[in-house]
Amino acid sequence: MKLDVETYIKALENEYYLDVYFSRQRSLKIMCFRAETFPGYIKYYIKYFVLIMLIPLSPFFSRVSFPGILKGDVYFTCSDKSKKMFSKIDSNNIFGIVDRGYKLDFNFSDFSDFLILSIAFIKRFKFSFWFYPEMMLIPEMIKVNRALVAADINELYITNQYDRWAYFLTNLKLGCKVNLHQHGLVSHEYQPRNKISAVQSLLCYDEDQLRIFKKHIVENVTVVTIRAPFIFLHPDLGGSAVLLCCTSNNEYFHLENEIFNFLFDEERVVVAVKPHPNNNSRYSGFNNKFIGDSFPRVRVVIHFNSTLEVEYKNSDPNVLTINAAKTPINDIVDSVLRVTK
């Protein structure tokens, strides 16, 4: 396998500027690796030094899973949402980060490529030491690259939009068509440093989202399909039910607790909590109110800049959605009490 160092580095640049964006959004005093889940300065520094020490071991372990030799139309997944989007696909055609556990997976060729890419990484990011934990993710990119080179693929389907995988999988010279299915809202506020060069098809939510894709994310699209996102609403929790959709952003954790406590004390309100899959452990106090893989029919959905707002409105025109990231807590509670029975 010929190592395309430039594609790897540009893919990692997209992750770098995502971290810069989120660090600034949260007004952090430092640039921070994975700033959207920033746990506080002391915990962050502890986590940072642990990750730095684990970098030399990263080629020996992997989260990436393959069903065997990839053939025909294949689907890349790296999140719970992408797994649900491809849930009707034969599992033999799905690869990627299917589960979050690490397993022993070592190859001498991968280790050699890791050393080459690590040197290129340090040359590119130099004194941005805060970003160095990203080097731990290089080995799984190598394994995906190697598997795709050995595969016999007609078309590749992905859901990534901004991150390293979006650029990486669309810019590797694989000789197959790449199709992108939108999995979350995109906005004018953030533009990736390196755009996706081309996709065969783009499935997106609406014309406004399409304009953002064409302006900021993808250089060339052959076929565009507009399809509003829907979700199957079940079970029905009744006209006094509220769904609190939590976020992976630790900045909102205190506000989520406040909202939950306010509504939980209201006897006539039924509260259900949908934790973000990337941050389940933070919500142990809500356990008895958890909603797992389902999306219940409720009267009110409280969210934090979530795509679920669009999905719920498309699926139930009568639902009230409240963006708690932009609404004072007193107004949230007043709105809930006004519309619940």
Domain ranges for the chain: 5-226, 233-339
Q: Taking 90 as the threshold, does the pLDDT of residue 148 lie above it?
A: yes
* pLDDT tens-digit series, residues 52-66: 999 999 999 888 989
Asked whether 197 and 170 are in contact (CB, 8 A), the reply is: yes
* Domain covering 233-339, topology: Rossmann fold (3.40.50)
Asked whether 241 and 268 are in contact (CB, 8 A), the reply is: no
Summarize the confidence of residues 171-188 as an average pLDDT: 91
What is the Cα–Cα distance from 25 to 187, expressed in whole angstroms?
A: 14
What is the helix (H) or strand (E) element at residue 153, kind and residue range? strand 152-158
* pLDDT tens-digit series, residues 93-129: 999 987 767 888 878 889 999 999 999 999 999 999 9
Q: Comparing 6-15, 195-204, 253-262, which segment has the lowest mean pLDDT? A: 253-262
Q: What is the 3-state secondary structure (H, E, C) of 3-25?
A: CCHHHHHHHHHHHHHHHHHHHHH
Q: Taking 80 as the threshold, does the pLDDT of residue 281 lie above it?
A: no
What is the Cα–Cα distance from 322 to 233, expressed in whole angstroms?
A: 18
Summarize the confidence of residues 219-230 as an average pLDDT: 94
The predicted model scores a pTM of 0.88
Structure tokens at 181: 């299915």
**Helix 164-171 crosses helix 5-25 at what angle (to 10 degrees)?**
160
* pLDDT tens-digit series, residues 230-253: 888 999 998 899 999 988 777 788
Structure tokens at 76: 């890349």
> How many CA atoms lie less than 13 Å away from 34 in the CB half-sphere?
18
Torsion sign over Cα 213, 201, 75, 233: positive
pLDDT above 70: percentage of residues in the chain: 96
The whole-number pLDDT of residue 217 equals: 95
- 91-127 burial, b for 16+ CB within 10 Å, e for fewer? eebbbbbbeeeeeebebeebeebbeebbebbeebbee
Q: Taking 80 as the threshold, does the pLDDT of residue 36 lie above it?
A: no
The whole-number pLDDT of residue 290 equals: 75
Compare 268 and 157 and report the one with higher pLDDT: 157
